Amino acid sequence: MDQIANPSPGFQRNPGKIIPVEPYRGTVTVRAGDVVIASSRMVKVLTESPYPPVFYIPFDDIDFNQLGKTEHSTHCPYKGDASYWSVLPAGDAGKDAMWAYEQPYDEMADIRDHGAFYPSKVTIEATPD
């Protein structure tokens, strides 16, 4: 039972790579105009060089009534397959604005049931404690 059921091919090829996922101490709020799309104190921060840190918000704290799932998907050899949602109140600017790894590789299981947003498509406010 010690075997990993869904191992990441990226980590298998590059076992020295580290992608930290840590709790954010504070509140993160995502808005499209005046509409709050998500707000949480249970956010995780994923740091993967050379990219900027990304906030992953629990699904429970995201208003999915404001989102529409799209057919778009991408693949990361470290995290898995990402699904995308458009932020409906943002109109065309909100197309594919949120992504999530619904079935991430085992090494990245901490981001399961969490969504992340593109800061170029919505407003993300992070207020530290």
CATH architecture designation of domain 18-128: Beta Complex (2.170)
Q: How confident is the model at residue 5 (pLDDT cuts 50, 70, 90)?
A: confident
Domain ranges of the chain: 18-128
Determine the Cα–Cα distance for residues 114 and 128; give it in Å rounded to an integer.
Answer: 19
> Contact, 55 vs 24, CB < 8 A?
yes
Digit-coded pLDDT (tens) for 48-90: 999 999 999 999 999 999 999 999 999 999 999 999 999 999 9
* pLDDT > 50? residue 1: no
> Contact, 105 vs 80, CB < 8 A?
yes
Digit-coded pLDDT (tens) for 17-34: 999 999 999 999 999 999
